[in-house]
A = this chain, B = another copy of it.
Amino acid sequence: MTNSRDPEGRRRALLAATVEVVAEVGVARTTHRAIAARAGVPLGATTYYFPTLHDLISAALEQAAEAWDADLVEWAAKLRGAQGEPRQSGPASVLTQLVLGYLADQPRARLECELYLAAGHTPELRSLATHWLLGLRDLLTQLTDKSTGFALATLVDGVFLQATVTGEAPEAEDLRLAIERLWVSD
């Protein structure tokens, strides 16, 4: 794939391949060899660009976290735009659609859950996972209040977890109703 001399391209290819492998088999089963094969580069290239496997995985997860941050900005804009709208296009409906849209990208949702759990027994990842977790909560807290933000973010995390296990998204109407019940801003 990245055959001709293109260091920056290889770096990107390695990070992208790492994200894919982690999403598929989990952090703990992610190996240099699997990443190299996926990226189409020889084994030695992995350690040339990232001294250790841990560095490579961390860098990949951090990059994914940045993408998630960018998404959150978009979510914030859409949710703000929905405030004051009638129920049909109000914040609860918009959040429901955003969540379901996110889940449609299954590998990505799984990657997020994977990071969450890996953080449970890998202290170095904990701050990254916490950042990810709090990003959504903070956003929702700003739109409502502390308690409501917590409740909504927790519900969404539960949806992610369930989707990771079952491989299926929840029914839109059930989710919308739940969000609507929680979204009681002062």
Contact = CB atoms under 8 A, between A and B. Distances in A.
Interface in A138-172: 146-147, 150-151, 153-162, 164-167, 170-171
A164 B24 contact: no
A171 B146 CA distance: 11
How many identical subunits does the complex contain? 2
Most buried by B among A117, A120, A151: A120
Interface residues of A, number: 46
A161 B133 CA distance: 10
Contacts of A181: 151, 181-182, 184
Contacts of A182: 178, 181-182
B154 A162 contact: yes
Chain A binding surface SS class:
helix
Given A181-B181, A182-B178, A24 B121 contact: yes
A24 B82 CA distance: 43
A132 to B, nearest CB: 9
Given A117-B165, A154-B162, A156-B158, 19 more contacts: A26-B28, A26-B117, A26-B120, A110-B120, A113-B117, A114-B117, A116-B161, A119-B165, A126-B167, A150-B178, A151-B155, A151-B174, A151-B181, A153-B158, A154-B158, A154-B178, A155-B155, A160-B161, A161-B161
